[in-house]
Chains A and B, each alone.
Chain A
Amino acid sequence: MEQYEPDRLSPAQVAAMRRSLTNGRAALTRRSLLRASAGGALAAGGIGTLSACGIPAAGRSQGGVSAEDHSAKEKTVSFSNWTEYMDVDDSGKHHPTLEEFTKRTGVKVKYTEDINDNNEFFGKIKPQLAAGQDTGRDLIVLTDWLAGRLIRLGWVQKLDPSNLPHAYANLSAQFRSPDWDPGRAYSYVWQGISTVIAYNKKALDGVEVTSLSDLLDNPKLKGRVGFLSEMRDSVGMTLLDMGKDPAHFTADDYDAAIARLQKAVDKGQIRRFTGNDYTSDLTSGDFAACVAWAGDVVQLKADSPDIDFLIPDSGYVTSTDNLLIPNKARHKTNAERLIDYYYEPKPAAELAAYINYVCPVDGVKAELAKIDEDAANNPLIIPDKAMAAKSHAFRSLSSKEETEFEEKFAKLTGA
């Protein structure tokens, strides 16, 4: 039957057939695509215009740029916060502490949960702040290193202490004078974050974990250890484990810590570096042990009996999320009143009972005990003396160091 096999069609026939199949409509063709890509390359090559661009230097006016304060006329304040960082009632629609503030002061709070990641949020507000424009936000919550960067860049406003009597009186001694904002001239703590070691008892299967060294070295945990993609937490914990204080370390100490982590990465000990998503790895048992944020662990522990945490003898890293008023905010006084409100023991206790992070307000224990006895005795929420003694902050970095250290850490995590 081979002789009946049809001959190859001539190119003209193929072309004719194809034309008939596409029905002559203006189909996207190879040639037009090639032409288009060449055009695109040409447009990109129009480099004469390139030198016109450039990013201006950050405004470095000390004390920040205030806009006219409309607080008295416009009884409102716009507050940007992280997701799930505020108390919610059972219906999930109301924030009781915010509503209490509105009832008491008449100031309406426009509350938005639009912060998911420090780096991402910085990318989002940078253009406006760099151009000296209003971000549309009166109050933002950022982790200390980014808060420090904004202060360094002069992009946030100095707070008026006369509007902050409770905040001034009740801020825990632990948080009073960070090196990036001495005396809290620009920022107040929203919540403190402790970085601890969390583990899944079932996944550990009897392997004993007491320190970070166990995570980095124990061959039984190979490929089942997680670290955080937040450089200061992962490197800070490693520095502590090596006997260095993250509040005072040199570039050599940093390199040594990176080398120690690199060794663990190279031998496949560390499975991956994660953001908040470590929680699912830990509950599923894919991580037997990991560096974790205590606030999450309190929550995970409540949901699953297998999860627990430990604080290494070498200590743990504490960071803070901070309230800041960006330049050109329209309602500065209202924002300051809101900060001050959360430093009164009662609202602070209500908030702490709900979100389980370290409460930065002194004298809250009695109020919290009325709501939740367990929470009041939990050293992860209200640190006792022993706990506070082990807490270490990561020192602030100059912008040159920041780039250099982040670059090294990025290389470690696979770039």
Chain B
Amino acid sequence: MSTLTEAPPPLAPEAPEPKPPQRRGRWTPYWLLLPGILWLVVFFALPMIYQASTSVQTGSLEEGYKVTWHFATYWDALSAYWPQFVRSVLYAGTATILCLLLGYPLAYLIAFRAGRWRNLIMILVIAPFFTSFLIRTLAWKTILADGGPLVGALDTLHVLDVTDWLGWTAGDRVLATPLAVVCGLTYNFLPFMILPLYTSLERIDGRLHEAAGDLYARPWTTFRKVTFPLSMPGVVSGTLLTFIPAAGDYVNADLLGSTDTRMVGNVIQTQFLRVLDYPTAAALSFILMAAILLMVTLYIRRSGTEDLV
């Protein structure tokens, strides 16, 4: 976006007369922007307008839909489906924090300690992407199967009693519970956290660590005062890249969840494809978009980091 508002290159002040090549050059940035702009108009702006319009229409499939500025759809949708909204934010938030806790040490390891193993570990992080999202999610059904080794072990260790008490699991199973959905989300979006973190960490000059050591900072202090603040851009973009798609995800809730774990993505899908209530589906999409935009804005403001990459 910053390139959009950038002024065209100024003419050289000492130029004796306007040269034709420079006049042509004036428009070059715009020509270069054209494909991107067209892309945005066709695949972003127009669908947005179309959806915005759908959300204030009323009608039925037979009679057609007309714009009646029926804004009540928004209120109805929100009052009917607020639990799913809250759940989406909760699950996506939990998954994002888990991703950060899992991803940060790994990104740190790759950036500073991996040495010649760095490329191999990077490949291992990215490799799951070569498999379909669906297959990766379905694999969790095998991992968390009732009475399977993992669930059996958790049950023997009485971990499931605790999670059951917390309401994360039900009885002696993990599948079809909130925990399974959060696990799926965490797993599926983990690389989106690791990659920006790694980019941020890898750019930190090793000499800063040496300098901190020379100034008698203990390793933990070095991390707290040097490494972590410098990796903030990675933390912020990583959490955004994880949270935003996770909040709109519906595959994990569909395959690993149950009736009480449905997220707002599931509601939108059902309203759009099954119930054929297009206005409600569009309104829900806009509410989700607005909610995410608001949360992200507040988050970026508070996090106080300027760079996002």
Task: Please give the residue numbers on chain A whose beta carbons come within 8 Å of chain B beta carbons, in ascending order.
Answer: 1, 4-6, 18, 21-22, 26-37, 39-41, 43-44, 46-47, 49-58, 60, 117, 119-120, 122-123, 149, 152-153, 222-224, 231, 265, 268, 270-273, 277, 280-281, 284-286, 399-400, 402-403, 406-407, 410, 412-415
Contacts and interface: CB of A to CB of B under 8 A. Distances in A.
Contacts of A272: 176, 257-259
B307 A27 contact: yes
A370 B306 CA distance: 76
A26 to B, nearest CB: 6
Contact of A153 (B45, B61, B65, B142): B61
B81 A415 contact: yes
A153 B1 CA distance: 45
19 contacts: A1-B216, A30-B236, A30-B308, A33-B300, A37-B296, A41-B293, A46-B49, A47-B52, A50-B53, A51-B69, A123-B273, A277-B138, A281-B141, A285-B147, A286-B176, A399-B60, A412-B259, A415-B84, A415-B266
Contacts of A22: 307
B54 interface: yes
Nearest to A3: B216
A312 B159 CA distance: 40
B170 interface: yes
A153 B205 CA distance: 66
Contacts of B212: 6
A4 B216 contact: yes
Interface string B18-32: 000000000000000
B308 to A, nearest CB: 5
Interface of chain A: mostly helix, strand, loop or mixed: helix
B64 A21 contact: no
Interface in B252-271: 255, 257-262, 266-267, 270-271
Contacts of A400: 60
B246 to A, nearest CB: 18
Contacts of A402: 276
A4 B214 CA distance: 10
Contacts of B176: 223, 271-272, 286
Contact of B293 (A21, A37, A270): A37
Interface string B233-259: 000110000000000000000010111
B258 A26 contact: no
A413 B267 CA distance: 10
B53 A273 contact: no
Contacts of A58: 61-62, 64
Contacts of B271: 410
Contacts of A46: 49
B63 A57 contact: yes
Q: Chain B, interface size: which category?
A: 35 or more
Given A32-B1, A43-B48, A414-B262, A54 B81 contact: no
Interface string B134-146: 0000100110011
Contacts, number: 183
A50 B68 CA distance: 11
A21 B207 CA distance: 13
Contacts of B65: 54-55
Query: Which 10 pairs from chain A and chain B are nearest by CB?
Result: A57-B64, A414-B262, A53-B53, A414-B259, A119-B273, A36-B1, A55-B65, A50-B53, A4-B216, A28-B308
Contacts of A277: 138, 255
Contacts of A18: 306-307
Contacts of B2: 26, 29, 32
A404 to B, nearest CB: 9
Contact of B309 (A28, A37, A60): A28
Contacts of B266: 414-415
Contacts of A41: 293
Given A53-B54, A54-B66, A407-B275, A37 B297 contact: yes
Contact of B64 (A56, A149, A270): A56
Interface string B209-234: 00010011100010001000010000
A29 B307 contact: yes
A374 B45 CA distance: 59
Nearest to A152: B62
A123 B268 CA distance: 14
Given A223-B173, A284-B141, A399-B60, 20 more contacts: A5-B217, A22-B307, A26-B3, A28-B307, A32-B2, A50-B49, A50-B52, A60-B62, A223-B170, A224-B146, A272-B176, A272-B258, A277-B138, A277-B255, A280-B138, A286-B141, A286-B175, A402-B276, A410-B267, A410-B274
